[in-house]
C-alpha cells in the first residue's frame, strides 16, 4: 500500500511539473539580425509562448525557418508556422516583415485559422500587395486536384494600431507604445504581460524615455543595440542616421539603469567592423545588471 501511494505521489509531482512547464512563459528569439546580411542571424523576430500559443513580434527574413527549427528542435509546437495565429509588427522596414508573406502562405491550404496581424499604418496596403503577388499560387492550388481545407486562409486579418492596449486573450495582454526610429512613423515597441512574466520588446528605436518607462518592472527587456566601436568607424552621414534611428550601447546602458529589468537581452545587433561581442561588453562596462547577447533560437 505504501509503495502504491508513493507511486501515486511521484506521478502527481510529474504531472504538476509538466503542467507548470506548459504554463511558464517562454521568450524565444527567432531572429537577431539587421538589414546587413549575416548567415548566423535571421531578420528581427521574437516569440512569446504561453499556454501553447505563440505571439510573434516581427517576422524578418529567415524567421519562419527559425520558427520551424524551434518547433522541431526545441520542442515548441506552437511555433510551427501553421499553428501561429498572432503576429505583431513594430514597423514596416523590410528586415522586420519580409517573412510575413512566407508565414501566411506556409501550408495555407491546411490552416484551421487565419493569422491576425497588428501593426502600423500601411499594414492593410501591404496585405493587398501580398495577395496580388501570390495570386498565381492561390489560383493553381484552388483549382487543381489539391485538397484545400479553407480556401481563404492565406489572407491575414490586419489591424492598424495606435498606442495603448491592443490585445487581450487568455491572460495575455499586449500594449503598444510609439518609439523614435528616425523618419519611420509610427514605429512601435510592445509591452507584453502574461500571468508569470512581463516582456518588453523595443523594436527599432533611438534612446526613448517612453520605452524606459514601459520597461520598468519588466522581467525581460529585449532591446536593439548598435556598438559604439562599430558606429564610430562609419561615415558622418551614417553616424547621424544611426543616432536618430538606433540605440548605441552607452544609451542602452542608460535605459537599462533607469528601467532595471531582471534581464536585458540584446538583439537586432548592429556592429559593422567591430567584433559582435562589443555590443555586449560595452553595455556591461556601464550597466551592472544581467545582460546577454542573444543568438537566434535562444530561449529565456
Q: State the cell numbers at 118.
A: 497588428
pLDDT level of residue 7 (50, 70, 90 thresholds): very low
Q: Are 179 and 42 in contact (CB under 8 A)?
A: no
DSSP code of residue 115: P
Mean local confidence (pLDDT), 267-287: 96
Q: Which residue has the higher pLDDT, 1 or 76?
A: 76
pLDDT tens track for 179-237:
999 999 999 999 999 999 999 999 999 999 999 999 999 999 999 999 999 898 889 99
Contact status, residue 116 vs residue 87, Cβ threshold 8 Å: yes
Domains in the chain with CATH codes: 25-293 (3.60.15.10)
Q: Measured over all CA atoms, what is the biggest interatomic distance in the chain, rounded to whole angstroms?
A: 79
pLDDT of 70 over the 80 cut: yes
Query: Is a pLDDT exceeding 90 seen at residue 1?
Result: no
User: Is pLDDT above 60 for 38?
Assistant: yes
Instruction: Please say if the pLDDT value at position 6 is more than 70.
Output: no
State the average pLDDT for the chain: 92
Q: What is the pTM of this model?
A: 0.91
At 13 the pLDDT is: 38
Percent of the chain with pLDDT over 70: 93
Report whether 189 contacts 234 (CB < 8 A). no
Amino acid at each position: 500500500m505504501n509503495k502504491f501511494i508513493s507511486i501515486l505521489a511521484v506521478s502527481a509531482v510529474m504531472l504538476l511539473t509538466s503542467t507548470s512547464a506548459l504554463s511558464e512563459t517562454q521568450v524565444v528569439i527567432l531572429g537577431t539580425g539587421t538589414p546587413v546580411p549575416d548567415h548566423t542571424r535571421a531578420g528581427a523576430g521574437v516569440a512569446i509562448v504561453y499556454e501553447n500559443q505563440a505571439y510573434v513580434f516581427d517576422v524578418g527574413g529567415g524567421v519562419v525557418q527559425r520558427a520551424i527549427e524551434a518547433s522541431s528542435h526545441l520542442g515548441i509546437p506552437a511555433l510551427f508556422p501553421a499553428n501561429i495565429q498572432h503576429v505583431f509588427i513594430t514597423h514596416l522596414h523590410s528586415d522586420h516583415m519580409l517573412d510575413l508573406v512566407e508565414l501566411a502562405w506556409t501550408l495555407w491550404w491546411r490552416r484551421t485559422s487565419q493569422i491576425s496581424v497588428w501593426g502600423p499604418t500601411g499594414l492593410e496596403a501591404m496585405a493587398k500587395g501580398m495577395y496580388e503577388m501570390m495570386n498565381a499560387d492561390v489560383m493553381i492550388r484552388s483549382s487543381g486536384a489539391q485538397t484545400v481545407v479553407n480556401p481563404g486562409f492565406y489572407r491575414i486579418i490586419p489591424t492598424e494600431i495606435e498606442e495603448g492596449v491592443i490585445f487581450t486573450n487568455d491572460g495575455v495582454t499586449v500594449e503598444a507604445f510609439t518609439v523614435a526610429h528616425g523618419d519611420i512613423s509610427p514605429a512601435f515597441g510592445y509591452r507584453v504581460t502574461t500571468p508569470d512574466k512581463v516582456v518588453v520588446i523595443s523594436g527599432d528605436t533611438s534612446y526613448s524615455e517612453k520605452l524606459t518607462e514601459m520597461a520598468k518592472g519588466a522581467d525581460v527587456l529585449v532591446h536593439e543595440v548598435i556598438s559604439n566601436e562599430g558606429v564610430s568607424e562609419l561615415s558622418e552621414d551614417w553616424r547621424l542616421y544611426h543616432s536618430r534611428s538606433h540605440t548605441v550601447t552607452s544609451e542602452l546602458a542608460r535605459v537599462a539603469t533607469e528601467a532595471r529589468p531582471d534581464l536585458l537581452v540584446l538583439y537586432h545587433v548592429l556592429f559593422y567592423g567591430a567584433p559582435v561581442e562589443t555590443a555586449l561588453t560595452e553595455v556591461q562596462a556601464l550597466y551592472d545588471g544581467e545582460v546577454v547577447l542573444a543568438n537566434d533560437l535562444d530561449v529565456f
